[in-house]
A and B are shown apart, each in its own frame.
Chain A
Amino acid sequence: MASAAMQEEQVKLLGFWFSPFVRRVEWALKFKGIEYEYVEEDLTNKSSLLLTSNPVHKTVPVLLHNGNPIVESLVIIEYIDENWKQNPILPQDPHERAKARFWANFIEQKITEAARTALLTQGEQQEKVVKELKEAMEVLEGEAAAKLNDKTLFFGGKNGLGYVDIVLGWICNWAEVIEEVGGFKVLDPQKQPHIHKWMANFVEEPLIKPTLLPKEKMVVYFQMVRQAYLGLAAKK
């Protein structure tokens, strides 16, 4: 029976509320309508559950499904998509799936990683990575211009939200905060009109809107992270 089977499913997410990687997994779970227990981790005092579930990286997010741990946000999202078949996140066609994965990787390597580095560096090092970030955003704007229009609001196409939207979505809540704290500017509605339109639509989505965090609280936290990191870098 469907309900008996669902009662046996135990889904737990170990997270940290400032983490965009955790938020992505929550979006994927909510998109599928999956019930889950959320456990907030103190990253300065990691639980033994976190350390045993993710011994290699010791980070969040960790999804525990019936006790089995899955880690790395993109790996978790694909797992969610394959294990729960309703509301597909990735397209069905192999070539479309490959394109979605390609863009998810592009975002991760060229935008997410670069933004993190820009947050944690200064001077020449930061300038270099901010330049690369601007170039990457230009490429992404090209893809957004090609794919999105008044009828197709999201990269998921006619299905609405999809894999690329969920992977990129962090910029809506985090990018401005990182820019303010890091002291640089990459987001530009003039240069990236399609991305900005996408962002405006993304934050209005019913499952996304309640998950957005107040900017002020995020700025305080990331300021602390940046100061701590630059302090460590200066000591080396």
Chain B
Amino acid sequence: MEDVEKKLSKDKVDKYDRQLRLWGAHGQAALENAHICLLNATATGTEILKNLVLPGIGRFTIIDGAKVSEEDLGNNFFVSQPDIGRSRAEVTSELLREMNEWVQGTHIAQDPNELIANQLSSFSQYTLVIATNLPTSSLLPLSEFLYSNHIPLVVSRAYGFVGYLRNVVPEHCIFETKPDNPLDDLRLTNPFPSLATYCGTWDLRQKSEGGNLDSHLHSHIPYIVILYQSLIEYRKNNPTFNPTPKTEAEKAEFIKIVTRHSTGEDKNFEEATDAARTHIYPGYRLPDDLTDVLNDDKASASSTPTSNYWIIAQAMKQYVDEEGKTVPVKGSVPDMTADTNSYVSLTEIYYQKSRQDIAKVLGYVRKYEKQANRAEGSVTDEEVERACKSVRDWKVVRYRSIKEEYETPDKDSLEMSVDVGENGPWYVALRAVDRFYEKEKRYPGDVEENVEGDLAKMVEIGKALEEELLRVDEESGEQKRVPDLEKVLREMIRVGGVELHNIGAVLGGVGAQEVIKLLTKQWVPMSNTFIFNGMNCTTNTYVF
């Protein structure tokens, strides 16, 4: 864990302790440098913002033309009774700001639709925009503008028991995806010189076999040493076998070698047998996501990098090409049964190798930095070091724009999403609600008198959507349909446009977490559409 105490004030370290253990000082800095814009201070919108103000984003701006109404008091925590009639943007920004004295918050008491129509360029000042309850006629131009300016957009809505969230950003580049079970890179199938030298000095034989280690030290030989020597012997004995055991017979042969000097009860030899599965048999291979990044046009030596990420990627690509298709060693060793001296020695060996590797990468970084006419050191040593340590976890995600989603629907995804048990029908239902709203400027079923007539209109819209989003079945020649669409549309009518606090609060948590991942560039954001079914309490994500 990086030394957060050196980088943050004591007050912050104390208050933010529980979250710093997740994203570190550099993650916190990313949050504190962000200026978030919220469009429409609805229950959902304020709940998302609440979960960003608490961990300490730098600044927010709320844009909302509405006045606080009695209805807001029933689902929005950030308004209070004396505020009825005041600007909702102003009231919610006050009550949100009040939760964290280190967060700056302002408001613009104006209808977001107007701002989007007349001052679209003003949105370029934000790091990220959250849009709730925006009609399609505003959402499309806003998302196009943000997309072309590489500003992430998170769209969300709570409609009755259904919740919706969509991430939109052309390109999201991650070094630290932090997978649950990261693979240690022990380099046992293609060892570097200092590792080979160290492992080669050991005599694995028990004392009774003529070895020089007493039983305690023998049972504490690190499995790295055992596996290294076993692989050498395996390769020497069987030049016709695969260089790493692949078939069952080869694996059995290998394990025989591994356990030859074990007394039968030694933990370290057991660990070696287990570790063979992950550190010997697969051989050395670069992860697919990493290879994709390095093969990307933007990582080629001649390209002009658009960000620090791509400068580092260019540097890494050169490193990989020059170092026999290997990446920098991580520099740490997983815990294993070992005596302290050997464990510490091994740790030191991997650590020193990682320092050498990082130094090489840094050299290339400076080269590409210069080539791109960037100031030397604009890519910091710390950033490069972090990127090298997590090199096996790199990933770049690209999201389709809303325009692409609407104009060229991904019919494969859509057809899968309306299968039995899936929540895709709710996506279609929400699209129908949006269409209805565009036409009628109100929500379907808003008042009792409209319920019947609106159902007929929604069914018609639903049919048209089916034809847009789903294909004609090749065999039957019939239009594919959304199962139970009418049932789902009836529920939308029942809702009559209301927003329930609890559904907004679920989206508040989910949305804030997505924003945090997008800002800190740690972990992996959701791709790209999230549907929450608050009736049967299930969720799905789809790429639309």
Are A and B bound to each other?
Answer: no
**A residues neighboring B (CB under 8 Å):** none
**B residues neighboring A (CB under 8 Å):** none
